[in-house]
A and B are shown apart, each in its own frame.
Chain A
């Protein structure tokens, strides 16, 4: 057979197309013919203009939305509904205000029926690894935005997924907090060897956190380029940021996205990215 050392594919999109029916205005093609794979332990970023369908890809990968055409696979199994190997995290922390921090971290494992003692153990381990142990019994409104986002990450990791789908997870926090959160994420991903697909608008975030960056076009979104980030220290984005080559990669991505010549008026206003 083929190469025995071929890396394991954790997440794969195969010729995925997504159309949305617009009331009275025909169909809108959000993404067209998207194919790519993410390998075990790899962190891949997805960048592209607003409205190019990045979040739609994430919903398809997590089984929340079925593609119009094409298939998605997680661990070689076709994604047809939500599955326990995938967990996602959004820009919004989605913490439940009536639950304490530790109860919020346990939310996913609780739904999945993990026994109470085990889920409490997992939640407490995660909280202490994120330096949040002393806030276990606080309520979300008592925490800062950065801390809340860290709790959301802990909740995502608590279900022990193979694949993390991250949709602009740090775009709502201030710049300094973001760097700390990026470092926490990078460390955790490296230590646990988890696979991640990261959607971001922040080009230097894409470069400092990823092994590879995929560039998407304007709607209908499709993959127009793939750039391998050949830099050390993927587990420490703050250190990586000091490497001069980071700027070269960012410049390259800007060029690929045609940011210098982009006509902002042609871009759809906000909305679903």
Chain B
């Protein structure tokens, strides 16, 4: 069984690498073969050259660092807030009933549309970007935690009550651990959305971060710089996602292996 699987995985990994090589080759020679000008699709070598140039002269590392910091702050604060509100609403049906229309309204409103407003309020600082990220990360985490707390088997609660558990014990020994798998599902969504929130904030205003480099490149018609920014943003999002996956495997180690590994 495991032998069949590891052989399937080896084949899959080989195909993945082959696909990457094919993609990079198509990127390098495709545009020229199809007669696409370099200011529309710059070939791979040009983007690599631009990367080195931006690293040396355009403070690429600094801008990446700013974006990473904003993503991290927005993700951590948004998740904490989302989890906290999720638990509180999950434990208080009255509060959930009273607040649900407003939460729904805020959830429907496109969060990135708040970016200009936050910049009006807080200026060209890192804070409006972090705030957009917080808002955007908040919902998937809160909704998943709320649903998990509401979905706890009442018989489990009764079992704990029959042992004379206090409210705090029911929370820490049953509700909190039960909410972990759905919370991680929310965190995974949040990790990628945090990057979206930060980039939109940076595009709207400011002179720092990869989103700024992106719009700067656009203004200069510097297509390779736009490509470099997109690649770096993808990398930041990917690393954030990977971080969540690693934490999830660590925390949810008790789940059957297959379910835990299916996640990527």
A-to-B contact residues, CB < 8 Å? 59, 62-64, 81-84, 86-88, 90, 92, 94, 96-99, 107-108, 110-112, 139, 141, 159
Number of A-B contacts (CB under 8 A): 55
Residue contacts A-B, CB under 8 angstroms, 24 given: A59-B158, A62-B162, A64-B158, A82-B161, A82-B164, A84-B163, A84-B164, A88-B162, A90-B159, A92-B155, A94-B153, A94-B155, A96-B174, A97-B255, A98-B177, A98-B180, A98-B254, A107-B163, A107-B173, A111-B160, A111-B163, A111-B165, A111-B173, A141-B255
Contact of A90 with B155 in the complex, beta carbons under 8 Å: yes
Nearest chain A CB to B183 CB, angstrom units: 13
Contact of B254 with A86 in the complex, beta carbons under 8 Å: no
Query: Does residue B40 face the partner (Cβ distance < 8 Å to A)?
Result: no
A94 to B163 Cα, complex, angstroms: 14
Minimal Cβ-Cβ distance residue in B for A90: B155
A78 to B174 Cα, complex, angstroms: 29
Q: What residues on B are CB-neighbors of A63 within 8 Å?
A: 162
A226 to B206 Cα, complex, angstroms: 83
Within 8 A of A (CB), among B150-204: 153, 155-156, 158-165, 169, 173-174, 177, 180
A136 to B183 Cα, complex, angstroms: 28
A64 to B159 Cα, complex, angstroms: 9
Q: A92-B153, A94-B159 are in contact. List 12 more A-B contacts (CB 8 A).
A: A62-B162, A81-B164, A82-B164, A90-B159, A94-B155, A96-B174, A98-B177, A99-B254, A107-B160, A107-B173, A108-B163, A111-B163
Minimal Cβ-Cβ distance residue in A for B166: A111
Minimal Cβ-Cβ distance residue in A for B174: A96
A86 to B158 Cα, complex, angstroms: 13
Query: Does residue B110 face the partner (Cβ distance < 8 Å to A)?
Result: no
Q: Which of B153, B163, B177, B255 makes the CB contact (< 8 A) with A82?
A: B163
A88 to B164 Cα, complex, angstroms: 12
Nearest chain B CB to A161 CB, angstrom units: 9
Minimal Cβ-Cβ distance residue in B for A109: B163
Q: What residues on B are CB-neighbors of A81 within 8 Å?
A: 164
Q: What residues on B are CB-neighbors of A83 within 8 Å?
A: 164
Minimal Cβ-Cβ distance residue in A for B252: A98
Query: Does residue B37 face the partner (Cβ distance < 8 Å to A)?
Result: no
Q: What residues on B are CB-neighbors of A88 within 8 Å?
A: 159, 162
Nearest chain A CB to B253 CB, angstrom units: 9
